[in-house]
């Protein structure tokens, strides 16, 4: 049955009106000037994504949702969650770029050496789909050919494209994902997937999709800790099983990121977790009540040595915390 649509009758509000609205919903605001500064910096609508987990009806998004905020929730709690998500995006962005480079390098090395006599194998109809070849000039190469390195190549050499090792340096994760899907031979797809320890082609494709979606969320400043993937992660080496309802959530995505990063460098994966744990510990020092939410949404659970040593958490907090007040 189709949902009945209604007219949109809300209007823009100023900072004073926004503060009154938030207070009316139960948010504790002790410093109006600081609240106004936060609203000016973050934006009322954007801040709403971080108020949402504090609503009494969370996580309801349908007609059961009420904007009433849990008793005792402060502006500091909400802003702490916002900055935690910002820290999480910045941390992940650095390490996702390592995975992206490794993926690109694997495509170039493995397939360029297999098709060693054809530097343009990525537009060879014996290697990739005709549809990919038809779409490539407009979907990818129109921006790639503007890069200085590619411009210099075309000034010197004949041909429509630069070779794979030059062209693919500027392919996005989305381009790589489409290219992987467009390879005609399963053996070629498996060359890439097994390099990262995953023999199942469809499962590896779901890993690539997951990496791309999280990378895009991080790059564009979207909410990360509570994000929902467009499609579920397939069971495989990275995720042999899933806790209930995590196959399409950030919880599952983080497991894929950890797995893929460990195929690149175990040390870098350990570094990533060290940074994530520090950021999480700082959040709990400011807003202990968020621990259940974070553990449920992300699967991030602090190591016991951090939990049992409050002095260690305080040292971390004093050294690196960003004070909002």
Tens digits of per-residue pLDDT, 255-285? 999 999 999 999 999 999 999 999 999 999 9
pLDDT single digits (tens) 84-142:
999 999 999 999 999 999 999 999 999 999 999 999 999 999 999 999 999 999 989 99
Q: Is the peptide bond before 59 cis (omega within 30 degrees of 0)?
A: yes
Has residue 253 got a pLDDT over 80? yes
pLDDT in tens, 217-241: 999 999 999 899 998 899 999 988 8
pLDDT band (50, 70, 90) for residue 319: low
Beta strands in 128-236 (DSSP E): none
The confidence band for 325, taking pLDDT boundaries of 50, 70 and 90, is very low
For residue 322, is pLDDT > 90? Answer: no
pLDDT at 179 over 80: yes
Condensed to tens digits (0 to 9), the pLDDT of residues 196-218 reads 999 999 999 999 999 999 999 99
Pick 141 or 317 by higher pLDDT.
141
Q: Indicate the SS3 state at residue 227.
A: coil
Query: Between 65 and 35, where is the model more confident?
Result: 35
Provide the pLDDT for residue 6: 84
pLDDT recorded at residue 317: 53
Q: Are 212 and 174 in contact (CB under 8 A)?
A: yes
E runs forming strands in the chain: none
Q: What length is written for the chain?
A: 325
Half-sphere exposure for 271 (CA within 13 Å, toward CB): 12
Q: Is 186 exposed, middle or buried (0-12, 13-18, 19+ CB in 10 A)?
A: exposed
Predicted pLDDT of residue 307: 62
Could you tell me the pLDDT band of residue 323, with boundaries at 50, 70 and 90?
very low
pLDDT at 65: 82
Q: CA nearest 89: which of 238, 286, 279, 284?
A: 279
Mean pLDDT of the chain: 91
pLDDT of residue 191: 98
CA 4 distance to own-chain centroid: 34
| pLDDT level of residue 35 (50, 70, 90 thresholds) | very high
* CA–CA separation, 265 and 106 (whole Å): 14
- With a pLDDT cut of 90, the percent of the chain lying above it is 80
Query: Closest Cα partner for 106 from 21, 214, 194, 38?
Result: 194
Q: How many CB atoms lie within 10 A of CB 70?
A: 14
Query: Is residue 308 scored above 80 in pLDDT?
Result: no
Whole-number pLDDT of residue 135 = 96
Q: Report the C-alpha gap between 26 and 20 in whole angstroms.
A: 10
For residue 132, give the nearest of 60, 183, 77 by alpha carbon: 183
Question: Residue 320: its pLDDT value, please?
Answer: 45
Residue 321: per-residue pLDDT? 43
Label residues 125-145 b or e (16+ Cβ within 10 Å = b).
eebbeeebeeebeeebbeebb
Spatial separation of the C-alpha atoms in residues 73 and 93, rounded to whole Å: 30
């Amino acid at each position: 049955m189709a949902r009945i649509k209604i007219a949109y009758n809300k209007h823009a509000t100023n900072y004073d009106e926004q503060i009154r609205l938030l207070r009316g919903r139960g948010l504790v605001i002790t410093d109006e000037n600081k609240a106004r500064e936060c609203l000016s910096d973050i934006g009322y609508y954007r801040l709403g994504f971080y108020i949402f987990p504090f609503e009494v009806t969370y996580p309801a998004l349908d007609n059961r949702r009420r904007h009433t905020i849990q008793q005792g929730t402060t502006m500091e709690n909400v802003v702490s969650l916002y900055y935690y998500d910002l820290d999480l995006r910045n941390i992940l962005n650095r390490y996702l770029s390592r995975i992206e480079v490794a993926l690109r390098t694997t495509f170039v090395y493995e397939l360029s050496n297999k098709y060693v006599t054809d530097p343009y194998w990525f537009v060879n109809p014996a290697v990739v789909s005709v549809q990919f070849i038809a779409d490539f000039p407009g979907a990818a190469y129109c921006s790639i050919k503007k890069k200085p390195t590619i411009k210099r190549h075309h000034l010197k050499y004949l041909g429509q494209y630069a070779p794979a090792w030059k062209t693919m340096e500027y392919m996005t994760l989305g381009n790589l994902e489409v290219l992987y899907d467009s390879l005609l031979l399963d053996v070629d797809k498996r060359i890439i997937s097994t390099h990262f320890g995953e023999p199942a082609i469809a499962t590896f494709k779901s890993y690539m999709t997951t990496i791309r979606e999280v990378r895009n969320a991080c790059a564009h400043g979207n909410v990360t800790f509570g994000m929902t993937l467009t499609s579920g992660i397939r069971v495989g080496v990275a995720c042999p099983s899933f806790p209930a309802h995590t196959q399409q959530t950030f919880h599952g995505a983080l497991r894929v990121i950890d797995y893929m990063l460990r195929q690149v460098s175990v040390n870098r994966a350990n570094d990533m977790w060290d940074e994530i744990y520090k950021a999480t510990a700082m959040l709990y020092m400011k807003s202990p009540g968020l621990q259940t939410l974070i553990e449920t949404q992300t699967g991030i659970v602090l190591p016991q040595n951090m939990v049992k040593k409050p002095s260690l958490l305080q040292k971390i907090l004093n050294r690196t915390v960003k004070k909002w007040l």
